Chains A and B, each alone.
Chain A
Amino acid sequence: MAIEAAPMFDTDELVLNMGPQHPSTHGVLRVILRLNGERVVDADVVIGYIHRGIEKLTENRDWTQIILLTDRMDYVSAATSNLGYCETVEKLMEVEVPRRARYIRTILAELQRVASHCLWLGTHAMDIGAMTVFMYAFRERELILDLFEEYCGARLTYNCMRIGGLPLDIPTGWGRKVRAFCDVMDSRIPEYEELLTNNRIWLERTRGIGVISGEAATALGLCGPPLRGSGVYRDVRKDEPYAAYDEFEFDVPLGTNGDTYDRYLIRLEEFRQSLRIIRQAVDGMPDGPVMGKVPRLIKPKAGETYHAIESPKGELGYFIVSDGRSTNPYRLRVRPPSFCNLQGLKPLIIGHLVADVVALIGTIDVVIGEVDR
């Protein structure tokens, strides 16, 4: 029960408009804050500044063209968007994907997870004021982009998967380069840790900030690292294995306190687990084709399906309805992890200071392209 202080002067709450043009809102997120001093009393999260109508657009594109659109949703993690869509259509068409293709897809998805987490780590640390981590993380992300460039020619929007498999086999020696990258990355993670993990200021800025309990996180529909940070075991890679994840050993890191620091530790551990998966996949790479038997004209029979994968941000699901007559989906609906995690922003920031707001926007790791679609 709060005791009202006797008013000495007139006090007004200040309404502060943060974004859509603000250095720390990661794109065009707009947060309207109602402040008492610097403490957030109320908040309103406004989205929709880069809504491009991707879901509606898919109804006028044929099934293969849509892969290109999925690139543009979570543009820092295009490979997982591709993967989720292709697997959903494969599920709808009941196509068997060759084992080699599933292995390569797993490598691509995990490389993408490392790249996406690098971007998250850099920007999150930058928001809290540590500028060097940003450059370090981007240095490693650059190596991953080089690997992707060598594989498919693109550095950001890869369009690197096809329904039924992959457009290309991996280039000669690519696996060796991926392994080499894993070694480099392994040596670089301690550099991030040295700058942040035991840094007093970092601890004070992240411990106990934005605490959310497991029940509350589940009720809000959070997914990915923000959910696991609260100690809820949910990872689509383990629960409903897709691609080749059932063949690899890896752990799912869980947090205990559900604060910003735990979410940070979890993502750092996910770096290591991703590298572990990549190493296993490269070493055990089977021979064979990379494209399954798919009809030239892709036209799934009438029906609907939902399929989810674990993108770096969380559970990325596609719900597709096919009418069985046309060469485009009747309806395609995306369950974007960024959008669902953004639901958690308002309850997280209320009661915190303005300085924490940027830390919390960073910790839930949203990409506005995926929120708005």
Chain B
Amino acid sequence: MIDLVIIPLFKIAVVLNGVLVSVTFMVLLERKVIAWAQSRLGPMRVGPWGVLQAIVDPIKLILKEDITPTKADKWMFTLAPILSLVPALVVFSVVPFGGDALFYITDINVGLLFIISVTSIGVYGIILAGWASNSKYPLLASLRAAAQLISYEIAVTMTLVSVILTAGTLSMVGIVEAQQETGFWFGFVQPVAFVLVFIGGLAETNRIPFDLPEAEQELTGGFHTEYSGMRFALFFLAEYANMIVIAAVVTALFWGGWLRPFPSVDALFPSVGALSFLNLAFLDLIPSWVWFFGKMFVFLYLFIWIRATLPRYRYDQLMRIGWKVLIPIALANIVVTAVVKVWLL
């Protein structure tokens, strides 16, 4: 009873709250970092250095009037933000935050497949929001979202196949453990796959340079033009939760998850004794979840950094990149991985 119900429920509560709270601080971090990149200060008024802005923003959004346009499809209009947020949160159930079973909700043997399938549901929220709003700008945005989905999703999924080939398992925990066994983080083994997945992640989360469904300057906010109040906030939460998901997945798949740097250098190069100083055994003192969150933070920062730097692609250009660049590279990567795996190792 305790093992099957109470502990999982407790973990779910912790993860859910953790994600939602970190989303609000993520928004603050983004505003701050972009402000620094632009030689501004960012939020400074609420609390010391604007720290309390993270709490004030959600409160404002909750208190705002929630408008449903008269001509909108009311059910779908309400369903869309939920459909966009829930998958983003569900994915966290298989993310291994630490090495111990205490630090992940569950470890299913098709974890990666689960992540791929659930995250692709999220885009339905955007498509539905665009249709249900019964307004032209959101409609254009939902068409863009659909076009964007097929362009990057195929490439990302195929890229993940090569990771699965390398790891020999679909379980998220198993993939991290495989990195421990081989001694190499897969980011070093599969650098191409990492780049592809990260680019796909940018597209998945609708971030610049692929924020076409939002595209404030073109579509005045895109799919959430007609949304206000808490329903708008749900989209907002979904976007940032998705960012955290992508950062977590990239960390687990390519950068050793909760592992500290290079524990098995000795095992890899037994002949070169000089490398043992790279073993850095004292780093074991730092708990595994700290490593995981630290690595995640690097990628979240990268997301923000990219947003502060790059302009936006046009949607036909995104599709061209997806079909003509990413998918061929992903296919080639699978072939190379398979050949290396079967014949050379």
Chain A hits for B220, CB < 8 A? 22-23
Which of B66-74, B94-102, B116-124, B309-317 lies at the interface?
Answer: B309-317
Which of B188-196, B210-218, B289-297 lies at the interface?
Answer: B210-218
Q: Quick check: is B308 within 8 A (CB to CB) of the other chain?
A: yes
B325 nearest CB across to chain A (Å): 12
Chain B hits for A16, CB < 8 A? 136-137, 140
Bound-state CA distance A354–B218 (Å) is 7
Q: Closest chain B residue to A14 by CB distance? A: B136
Q: Quick check: is A49 within 8 A (CB to CB) of the other chain?
A: no
Interface residues of B in 102-130 (CB under 8 A from A): none
In the complex, the answer to whether B38 meets A353 with C-beta atoms within 8 Å is: no
B302 nearest CB across to chain A (Å): 16
Bound-state CA distance A196–B312 (Å) is 12
Interface residues of B in 201-234 (CB under 8 A from A): 208-209, 211-212, 215-220
In the complex, the answer to whether A127 meets B217 with C-beta atoms within 8 Å is: yes
In the complex, the answer to whether A355 meets B315 with C-beta atoms within 8 Å is: yes
**A167-202 near B? 1/0 per residue, CB < 8 Å:** 000000000000000000000000000011001011
In the complex, the answer to whether A201 meets B218 with C-beta atoms within 8 Å is: no
Q: Which residues of B contact A (CB under 8 A)?
A: 34, 37-40, 136-137, 139-140, 143-144, 208-209, 211-212, 215-220, 307-317
A195 and B309 in contact, given A129-B211, A131-B38, A355-B314 (Cβ under 8 angstroms): yes
Interface residues of A in 327-361 (CB under 8 A from B): 353-358
In the complex, the answer to whether A132 meets B217 with C-beta atoms within 8 Å is: no
B200 nearest CB across to chain A (Å): 17
Chain B hits for A136, CB < 8 A? 38-39
In the complex, the answer to whether A204 meets B317 with C-beta atoms within 8 Å is: yes
Q: Quick check: is A126 within 8 A (CB to CB) of the other chain?
A: yes
Chain A hits for B314, CB < 8 A? 204-205, 353, 355-356
In the complex, the answer to whether B39 meets A139 with C-beta atoms within 8 Å is: yes
Interface residues of A in 139-172 (CB under 8 A from B): 139
Chain B hits for A353, CB < 8 A? 314-316
Q: Quick check: is A283 within 8 A (CB to CB) of the other chain?
A: no
A28 nearest CB across to chain B (Å): 15
Q: Closest chain A residue to B216 by CB distance? A: A23
Chain B hits for A202, CB < 8 A? 311
In the complex, the answer to whether B308 meets A24 with C-beta atoms within 8 Å is: no
In the complex, the answer to whether A135 meets B310 with C-beta atoms within 8 Å is: no
Bound-state CA distance A232–B219 (Å) is 34
In the complex, the answer to whether B136 meets A199 with C-beta atoms within 8 Å is: no
Bound-state CA distance A353–B215 (Å) is 13
Closest 9 CB pairs of A and B: A129-B312, A135-B38, A130-B311, A129-B311, A128-B311, A24-B217, A355-B314, A127-B217, A201-B311
Bound-state CA distance A134–B216 (Å) is 15
In the complex, the answer to whether B38 meets A354 with C-beta atoms within 8 Å is: no
In the complex, the answer to whether A131 meets B308 with C-beta atoms within 8 Å is: yes
Chain B hits for A139, CB < 8 A? 39
Chain B hits for A129, CB < 8 A? 208-209, 211, 215, 217, 310-312
Interface residues of A in 195-233 (CB under 8 A from B): 195-196, 199, 201-202, 204-205
A358 partner, pick from B137, B211, B212, B217, beta carbons under 8 A? B217
Chain A hits for B212, CB < 8 A? 355
Q: Quick check: is A38 within 8 A (CB to CB) of the other chain?
A: yes
A38 and B315 in contact, given A127-B217, A201-B209 (Cβ under 8 angstroms): yes
In the complex, the answer to whether A354 meets B219 with C-beta atoms within 8 Å is: yes
Chain A hits for B313, CB < 8 A? 201, 204-205
A31 nearest CB across to chain B (Å): 12
Listed A/B pairs (18) with beta-carbon separation below 8 Å: A16-B136, A17-B136, A23-B216, A24-B217, A37-B143, A38-B144, A129-B208, A129-B311, A129-B312, A130-B309, A132-B308, A139-B39, A201-B310, A205-B314, A353-B315, A353-B316, A355-B218, A355-B314
